Chain A
């Protein structure tokens, strides 16, 4: 796995191919749009998507935490895809093993009651302000702050000679905002069309590569 160091203002952070951001000085791990329970939700409604694929998100979460040993894990919304289902139990088990503090910034998909999260010791809130940084789910420009958010599931279509096109998940950075790619398996992409001054960092399964 090849990560990439990027400066957000004066803060140095690390982009990981899984689509996470590690804030080095504060030991905070930022993760967006995991959409846990999506497959279970589909199965519950009669769509027979392979149940074995449910484990993958948890395996990836465990791997990324083993790498960084964060003190804080902040989910930038859409942690769960829909209402409570069996995957909550798997989540509970996973949370039990965590030593870091976990915070959920609520996203539009997060319809599970905050009480359930409180029982697991997870704080839920609409947004979080850290120094000059605004952590939210929805993209938002706020004066005086640099926003870090999710929601969009950004992806980028990279075109080359010979009519070649590659479609990749990406980090999408504008002057005052960074949008994280969706962490979750089985989530789609929104193809961004960046302005010339925007920065795109695409994720391959093993690398993060800056496009411009």
Chain B
């Protein structure tokens, strides 16, 4: 069959469904059948699965003209998806086409949810298309004889590549691809990505820097224009609007008519605990919703999640309260409306969520923004502009992630073993490790074999062994087992299973939260109030409780930052707000009109900074002396600026700070008065010696320490065990906090230790943005307001509990001063 005949099969099938292929689908079919690699830029629910699955099937038909009588066994294509939840839908779509064209191809799923029995069956006889996650793919690479599994692979499709790109799972994907390119000769690699700022780079990262695959590749854009309506939910009276708070429950009643007027509504919250609270409160106040409103987040068990997803499709739910767990995925056709509670922190994410609604062709997506505190109204206004301008942000790929590399090398050593000479060029060909030097490579090899760079006498380090012929291999069963359990780069606190005493799995919960409970305590989980009975191994045993009030688990993570674009738009909004106070201009947005009372209050007690002004406020409360700075640059830049400034001030005289930050500004809080005049006189916002000072301030704060936590787990320095599996830890528990100290004191040239600092610079502090921010501040007039009490702008910052610390005082002096205060 030639290409034309093959495409006719696809066209025929589309016609039978009553569909017409989109131009981007046809373009992709053609490019694939010409043997090209590529990146497809298409939004969720646009038919992207058929854009790539169709030509994969067609290629098989071409390669095996006798496919009906003599089917060719074995794996032909892999579909990588970041979320397990997506795999079912992809499988359904793929199966439909494979069956109706009588190709005889089979589709299977292999993720963390796949049972042991299914896995074993798959090992014996692989499906033709395997839908899996990056972690599960690496697990396959850790099994014996893996090259045999993959040798007839024609295609790998990496779905939602934009989600993986900016994370270490992206690096994991790059590494797996580098191996499979060698193992499978006829391999074509395709990515599917939503719109992000750096699509060409996304293509390069996927295919490898300067690789053959990249040269033979193409970027296809779906160019589907979708109309998006954005509305803010503005309270009737601003008096009740809190200055701070992140739950938004005061606007609960406003949400009800929106739910009632729409077929199905998805309500996105930023954290799982917020999700639980919203569900609970909505059910308490509007019991008539029982059975019509459900909840969906990553800690709820798989069956419930799948049930909710199916119920959305069946139109049997009016609303679902969810987290990013429903960000991705295939069509939920009945969804007409989205509500975003609290700032989404990024334009791309906001657009993506909006895109979950109005899937029918020609229908607009409708999204409501529900601000959780007054100042977020400014954000709402900025978001609308961002949506109009489609100002989406970049996803920054990771570079030189040694933690993922040593994990990958150990993975290869666990399966068939590897020869460094063969693997090195593959690794060098990835985007992440294009800059890997021979020295660094040797370092990694030493690390997995000797656990250090110099051979130590009587050392008992055991992991990877070098066999006589130079093969790197893991021969110890315990090491292999622990490694397999550790594969993956998503790091979380140890997860415990929540179960009823009488049996029945409810979900998983972080150890951190459970450790604060004692038996008898009642907490809310999965929409139920549960009483803790006892903790048994890795299981939390609970009973249903009738108590009304309960603690809500706080899940870690979920702290995101504004992108540069969003911060820019936010500043513009604010400058306009400053101009608008007191005026009656008709041009003001409804958000700004609603904000007037608060803006006026801010103006009264301090100022609203204008474009050429940089505002600093100082005031004293019971807690101590506060100094608030407002660069409006996003959380991460503020975290860096905050510690930089704290460090520089601490050089002037011994002082201790607690530093808080949000997307608008940061606070330095001290028990001593900060001499602001001295700060200004000494030009402490200078960008001179920026990196040096930052590095020193990092040493003094916890930022790098927190990064190291993840690195230590990925690199296998800490053994965390595995959810749902009770594994004897054999005295192998330790906190990564302790590890950090040991490395700092004894091996600070360790590449993994240094990586913690590098990652903080590259991914957290965003040096480029920081420099720009300092330059902008330099060009602005600094306005220092000594205020009587906290101002509206300062409120969300000073009440934030997540804080950095920095001190230049002698420890003993600090203790003595604390004691003096305590004993007062």
**Bound Cα distance A49, B479 (Å):** 16
Q: Is the CB of B656 within 8 A of A162?
A: yes
Q: Are A204 and B811 in contact (CB under 8 A)?
A: yes
- Please state if B818 and A47 are interface contacts (CB–CB under 8 Å): no
Confirm or deny: A112 has a beta carbon within 8 angstroms of a beta carbon on chain B: no
Q: With A49-B717, A187-B738 known to touch, is A209 a contact of B812 (CB < 8 Å)?
A: yes
Within 8 A of B (CB), among A37-96: 38-53, 81-82, 85-86, 89
| Alpha-carbon separation in the docked complex, A166 to B658 (Å) | 12
A98 to chain B, nearest CB (A): 22
Instruction: Tell me which residues across on chain B come within 8 A of A202, comparing CB atoms.
Output: 815
A163 CB-CB contact with B under 8 Å = yes
Q: Is B603 an interface residue (CB 8 A)?
A: no
Taking a contact as CB atoms closer than 8 A, the residue among A46, A81, A109, A160 that contacts B462 in the complex is: A46
Given A86-B460, A188-B735; A47-B718 close (CB under 8 Å)? yes
Instruction: Establish whether residues B462 and A45, one from each chain, have CB atoms under 8 Å apart when the complex forms.
Output: yes
Contact in complex: A86, B459 (CB < 8 Å): yes
The stretch of B257-265, B547-555, B745-753 in contact with A is: B745-753
Tell me which of B462, B670, B738 contacts A188 (CB under 8 A). B738
Q: What's the minimum C-beta distance from B813 to chain A, rounded to whole angstroms? A: 10
Of B159-167, B377-385, B450-458, the segment with at least 4 beta carbons within 8 Å of chain A is B450-458
CB neighbours of A53 from chain B (8 A): 742, 745-746
* A121 on the B face (CB < 8 A): no
Q: Is the CB of B625 within 8 A of A51?
A: no
Residue in B719, B745, B803, B815 whose CB lies within 8 Å of A47? B719
Given contacts A161-B624, A188-B735, contact A48 B821 (CB under 8 A): no
When the two chains form their complex, are residues A45 and B730 in contact, meaning their CB atoms are under 8 A apart?
yes
Q: Which B residue sits closest to A206, measured CB to CB?
A: B812
Q: Please pick, from A44, A46, A164, the residue contacting B814 in the complex, using a CB distance under 8 A.
A: A164
Interchain nearest-CB distance for A107 vs B (Å): 12
Are B658's CB and A163's CB within 8 A? Answer: yes
Given contacts A163-B669, A204-B811, contact A47 B746 (CB under 8 A): no
Q: How many residues of A contact B (CB 8 A)?
A: 43
B731 touches A (CB below 8 Å): yes
Most chain A beta-carbon neighbours within 10 Å: one of B479, B669, B811 = B811
Query: Chain B residues with Cβ under 8 A from A51's Cβ?
Result: 451-452, 456, 459, 461
> Which of chain A's residues have a CB closer than 8 A to the CB of B656?
162, 164
Contact yes or no, A160 B818, CB < 8 A: yes
Complex: chain B residue closest to A211, CB-CB:
B819
Q: Once bound together, how far apart are the Cα atoms of A44 and B745, in whole Å? A: 21
Min distance, Cβ A187 to any Cβ of chain B, angstroms: 7
- Contact across chains for B658 and A162 when beta carbons are under 8 A apart: yes
- Is B743 an interface residue, CB under 8 A from the partner? yes
Question: Nearest Cβ in chain B — how far from A183, in angstroms?
Answer: 15
Are A161 and B623 closer than 8 Å at their CB atoms? yes
Q: How far is the CA of A66 from the CA of B718 in the complex (A)?
A: 36
A130 located at the interface, meaning its Cβ lies under 8 Å from any Cβ of chain B in the complex: no
Among A50, A81, A206, A209, chain B packs the most CB atoms within 10 A around the CB of: A50
How does the 8 Å CB contact mask read for A178-212 relative to B, with 1 for contact and 0 for none? 00000001111000000000000010111101010
Please determine whether A162 and B671 come into contact, CB atoms closer than 8 angstroms: yes
7 nearest A-B residue pairs (beta carbon): A162-B624, A48-B451, A160-B818, A50-B746, A161-B671, A50-B747, A46-B463
Q: Report B's interface with A, CB cutoff 8 A.
A: 447, 451-452, 456, 458-463, 478-479, 482-483, 623-625, 656-658, 669-671, 716-719, 730-732, 734-735, 737-739, 742-743, 745-747, 750, 803, 805, 811-812, 814-819, 821-822
11 new A-B contacts at CB < 8 Å, known A39-B742, A51-B451: A41-B732, A45-B732, A47-B716, A49-B451, A82-B731, A86-B460, A160-B671, A161-B623, A161-B821, A162-B670, A164-B818
Measuring CB to CB, which residues of chain A are less than 8 angstroms from any residue of chain B? 38-53, 81-82, 85-86, 89, 109, 158-166, 168, 185-188, 202, 204-207, 209, 211
